[in-house]
Amino acid sequence: MKKPLRLSRKGMADGHILKCILMVIIIAALLAPRNLYAQKTQSVSFDSTKVQGTVTPITTVKTSYPKVVGYLSFIVPIVTFNKDATTFNFNGTTSIGFPVGVNVLYSDKFGFSYEFTPTIKSGNGTSKMSNLLFDPGTMFRFEHGFTIITRLAFETSGRYGFTPVFNQVYARSKYVNYFVALSSPVRFGNNDLPSLGLNVQFGFTFN
């Protein structure tokens, strides 16, 4: 009787730890200041009696391409559908992914992203890294920090497919830009039914 009790307590502890990690990351992302480390503009006054000639206009420095930026993030699966069942995260088991990657930007309109996502799963009295996803994709960049990414998906679990991602930068600073994304993974293979999911992702890119 004592051994099952210890396993149950261990499973509960693993679940609480994973949920605490998730809550800390979400709160940190939401509270991230919009102008962290931002350069402050300074006003300079000129004495018209001492300064002669025309004032040189301020010029905007254009970004040179190609440009490579790295990013860190975490992703939370919300729900997964197939024709037989609907599975929600945090319903007996908890899964959190940690996407890391590199974006190669070729212009203001286009880029390519290379991403790896290890996933940690907690439930049934244990926690483990359950899957590793490689999902490269093309980036279609728009104004105001909005990007659509079309990713292929290859999982060590045996599943494969594609994932459309809708990404929005919501805060900028001198060193990092913070973003939020919604993704809808479509998966096939490994003797399982085709599925459609919904995920939410928070992270930041290094400038």
Phi and psi at residue 183, to the nearest 5° = -130, 155
Q: Give the separation between CA 191 and CA 25, rounded to whole angstroms.
A: 35
Q: Are 152 and 135 in contact (CB under 8 A)?
A: yes
Q: Which of 13-22, 25-34, 130-139 is the least confident region?
A: 25-34
C-alpha distances in Å from residue 19, one per residue of 13, 86, 97, 192: 10, 21, 13, 28
Q: What is the pLDDT of residues 66-90, one digit of tens each?
A: 999 999 999 999 999 999 999 999 9
48-68 per-residue burial string, b: 16 or more CB within 10 A, e: under 16: eeeeeeeeeeeeeeeeeeeee
Q: Where are the alpha helices (DSSP H) in the chain?
A: 2-30
- Residues 194 and 79 sit within 8 Å (Cβ to Cβ): no
pTM of the entire predicted model: 0.73
Residue ranges per domain, the chain?
A: 67-206
Least confident of 32-41, 62-71, 84-93, 120-129: 32-41
Architecture of domain 67-206: Beta Barrel (2.40)
